[in-house]
C-alpha cells in the first residue's frame, strides 16, 4: 500500500493596516483569512475606535470566518477589557510592543475568548531564543523586520535565512515587506503558516492598491 504524503497546509493571508470601510469590504471579498486594524496612535495607519468598529462590522458582513485583528502596543490589561466590550470586538489582539511573558499569560487567563498573537521584530538568531519563552502563552507568532524607529509597517524584510529549518510550537506568520513578487522566493525556502502584508501593497499609508492585494492573494493560492 502506497502512503500519500499529507497535503501542504494552505498559507493564511492577513492584510493589515486597513483604514476605511470600503477597502475593508473589497479586501474581505478576496477571501483572505484576516484583516488588521492599527490601534497604535503613533502609527500613520492608526484608526480610532469608532472607525475600527465600522471596519470590523463590514468584514463581518462579508464573512464571519475572517479574523478581525486589532494591533496594539504596550497597553494595560484594563484597556483590553474595554476593547473586549466594544459592540464589535476584535477576534484577535496582536501585541506589537514590549509585552512580557507574564503579560501574555495574564491576558490568556483573563480574555479566553480573544486569540492572542505576539509580534517579534527579528534581527538576529538571539531573537528566536526569546520567542520560545512565549509560545505556551500565545496563539500565534508574528515575525516582523527590525527597525529602530518603528514597531512595524516599514516594508523592511525579515532575514529569512534565520528561519530556514526553524520550527515553532505555535503557528507562525511572516510579515515585513510582503508582496506578490517575493512569494516564490519565500516559499522556495520557507512555508509559514501565514503571511501578513501591509505597506508594500499601499498607494499611501493605510490606502491599499487593490490590484496588488489581489495579485498577492493569487500568487499565494497558486503556490499552495
Whether residue 219 is predicted with pLDDT greater than 90 in this model: the reply is yes
User: Does pLDDT of 107 surpass 90?
Assistant: yes
Rounded to an integer, the average pLDDT of 34-48 is: 96
Residue with the larger pLDDT of the pair 36 and 129: 36
Cα separation, 135 vs 39, in Å, equals 24
What domains, with CATH codes, occur in the chain? 12-223 (3.20.20.70)
Average pLDDT over the chain reads 91
What's this model's pTM, rounded to 2 decimal places? 0.91
Q: Please check the confidence at residue 86 and state whether its pLDDT lies above 90.
A: yes
Instruction: Give residue 81's pLDDT.
Output: 96
Three-state SS string across the chain, please? CCCCCCCCCCCEEEECCCCCHHHHHHHHCCCCCEEEEECCCCCCCECCHHHHHHHHHHHHHHCCCCEEEEEECCCCHHHHHHHHCCCCCCCEEEECCCCCHHHHHHHHHHCCCCEEEEEEEECCHHHHHHHHCCHHHCCEEEEEECCCCCCCCCCCCCCHHHCCCCCCCCCEEECCCCCHHHHHHHHHHCCCCEEEECHHHEEECCEECHHHHHHHHHHHHHHC
* Contact present, 35 and 67 (Cβ < 8 Å): yes
Q: What percent of the chain has pLDDT over 70?
A: 92
Rounded CA separation 94/139 (Å): 10
- In this prediction, residue 74 has a pLDDT band, given cuts at 50, 70 and 90, of very high
Mean pLDDT of 23-47: 97
Residue with cell 490589561: 77
Q: How far is CA 151 from CA 98, 122, 139, in A?
A: 10, 11, 20
Amino acid at each position: 500500500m502506497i502512503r500519500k504524503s499529507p497535503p501542504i497546509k494552505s498559507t493564511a493571508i492577513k492584510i493589515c493596516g486597513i483604514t476605511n470601510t470600503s477597502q475593508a469590504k473589497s479586501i474581505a471579498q478576496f477571501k483572505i483569512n484576516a484583516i488588521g486594524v492599527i490601534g497604535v496612535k503613533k502609527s500613520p495607519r492608526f484608526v480610532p475606535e469608532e472607525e475600527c468598529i465600522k471596519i470590523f462590522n463590514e468584514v463581518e458582513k462579508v464573512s464571519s470566518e475572517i479574523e478581525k485583528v486589532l494591533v496594539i502596543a504596550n497597553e494595560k490589561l484594563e484597556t483590553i477589557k474595554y476593547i473586549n466590550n466594544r459592540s464589535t470586538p476584535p477576534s484577535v489582539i496582536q501585541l506589537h510592543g514590549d509585552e512580557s511573558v507574564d503579560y501574555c499569560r495574564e491576558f490568556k487567563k483573563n480574555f479566553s475568548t480573544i486569540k492572542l498573537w505576539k509580534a517579534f521584530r527579528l534581527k538576529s538568531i538571539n531573537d528566536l531564543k526569546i520567542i520560545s519563552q512565549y509560545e505556551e502563552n500565545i496563539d500565534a507568532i508574528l515575525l516582523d523586520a527590525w527597525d529602530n524607529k518603528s514597531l512595524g509597517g516599514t516594508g523592511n524584510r525579515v532575514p529569512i535565512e534565520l528561519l530556514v529549518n526553524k520550527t515553532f510550537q505555535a503557528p507562525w506568520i511572516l510579515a515585513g515587506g510582503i508582496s506578490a513578487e517575493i512569494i516564490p522566493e519565500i516559499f522556495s525556502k520557507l512555508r509559514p503558516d501565514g503571511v501578513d502584508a501591509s505597506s508594500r501593497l499601499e498607494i499611501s499609508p493605510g490606502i491599499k492598491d487593490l490590484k496588488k492585494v489581489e495579485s498577492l492573494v493569487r500568487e499565494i493560492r497558486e503556490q499552495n
